[in-house]
Amino acid sequence: MELNSIQPAAGAKHAKRRVGRGIGSGLGKTAGRGHKGQKSRSGGYHKVGFEGGQMPLQRRLPKRGFKSASLKFNAEVTLAALEQLGLAEVDVLALKQAGLVGQLAKVVKVIKAGELTKSVKLTGIGATAGAKAAIEAAGGSVA
């Protein structure tokens, strides 16, 4: 390959549409804009979702729901996941390294789902009442 032989891929380049250049071009007179109306004029445009003055759909529908911005910092871990992890002492960093919680997680809570047979010591991690009972029954502790 030489610098003078470099060319774009086939079909990558195409001629720009030349409008308003007479009848024979197929794009003469109105230049593909149709007849009259706001979109046929130069400088004529409207906002996305504009319905010609009619109340737009996004304003006709009711507002509903709320998504907390702090949810991305909260995470939960099951007893079954702790069982599989197999560590004696578990903290937030260990859970992040194991991939059980997201890297953004700040508040982690253990929920009662699955069984726990191994003794696990939790530090800096919360637990629901049922999960706490299950952990202590298995010989572990929640700090």
Read off the pLDDT of each residue in 13-41 and give the average, rounded to a whole number: 94
Task: Say if pTM beats, i.e. exceeds, 0.85.
Answer: no
120: closest CA among 96, 143, 87, 97?
87
The domain segmentation of the chain, as residue ranges, is 17-48, 70-142
108: closest CA among 95, 99, 120, 119?
95
Is residue 13 over pLDDT 90? yes
User: What is the predicted pLDDT for the residue at 1?
Assistant: 83
User: What is the predicted pLDDT for the residue at 143?
Assistant: 82
The per-residue pLDDT for range 84-138, each reduced to its tens digit, is 988 899 999 999 999 999 999 999 999 999 999 999 999 999 999 999 999 999 9
- Confidence category of residue 15, pLDDT binned at 50, 70, 90: very high
CATH code linked to domain 70-142: 3.100.10.10
